[in-house]
C-alpha cells in the first residue's frame, strides 16, 4: 500500500518539495494569485493549481476570489515555513552527524 492520501494528511501535503516551495513563496503573509506563483516558481499552471488545491484541502492555505484571480495565502499561525525548515535542518544535521549510523556491538544485552 502506498502512502496515505495526500489530500487528507498535512504531512503528505508538505512532503512534496514543490509544495514547500509554494509555502515559502507565501511566507511573507501576502496573498498571491496563482499566476504570480506560476511565474515565480516556474511551475506549469495546472501543476500549480493542483498543488494549491492540496494545500488548501489540508488547511495550510486559504483562497479568496478577486475578480478572475484567486488569491492564496498562508494560514497565519499554522505551519510556518520556519518551523518546517527547523524540522528539516535538525534532522538533516543529525543524519550527517551519524553518516551510516550503526552503533557498535555490545555484550550488554538488555533484559527482555
Partner DNA sequence: TTGACATATTCCCATATAGGAATATAATAT
Partner DNA sequence: ATATTATATTCCTATATGGGAATATGTCAA
What residues make contact with a copy of itself under the rule CB under 8 A? Answer: 3-4, 9-17, 20, 31, 33, 36, 56-60, 62-67, 69-71, 75, 77-79, 83-84, 87-88, 90-98, 101-110, 112
Q: CA separation (Å) from 111 to 47, 61, 106, 107, 108?
A: 53, 49, 14, 12, 9
Tell me which residues touch DNA (CB under 7 A): 1-7, 12, 15-16, 18, 33-35, 38, 43-54, 63, 65, 67-70, 105, 107, 109
- If the CB atoms of residues 4 and 91 are measured against DNA, the closer one turns out to be 4
CB 74 within 8 A of CB 26: yes
CB 63 within 8 A of CB 72: yes
Joined together, the cell numbers standing for residue 98 give 551519524
Q: Report the partner that residue 54 touches, choosing among DNA, a copy of itself, none (CB closer than 5 to 8 A by kind).
A: DNA
Residue 98: CB minimum distance to a copy of itself, A: 6
Of residues 49, 83, 78, the one with CA closest to residue 63: 49
Amino acid at each position: 500500500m502506498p502512502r496515505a492520501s495526500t489530500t487528507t494528511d498535512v504531512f503528505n501535503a508538505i512532503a512534496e518539495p514543490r509544495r514547500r516551495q509554494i509555502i515559502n513563496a507565501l511566507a511573507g503573509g501576502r496573498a498571491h494569485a496563482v499566476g504570480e506563483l506560476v511565474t515565480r516558481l516556474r511551475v506549469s499552471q495546472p501543476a500549480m493549481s493542483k498543488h494549491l488545491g492540496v494545500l488548501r484541502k489540508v488547511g495550510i492555505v486559504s483562497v479568496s476570489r478577486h475578480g478572475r484571480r484567486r488569491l492564496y495565502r498562508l494560514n497565519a499561525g499554522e505551519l510556518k515555513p520556519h518551523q518546517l525548515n527547523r524540522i528539516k535542518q535538525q534532522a538533516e544535521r543529525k543524519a550527517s552527524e551519524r553518516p551510516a549510523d550503526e552503533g557498535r556491538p555490545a555484550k550488554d544485552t538488555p533484559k527482555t
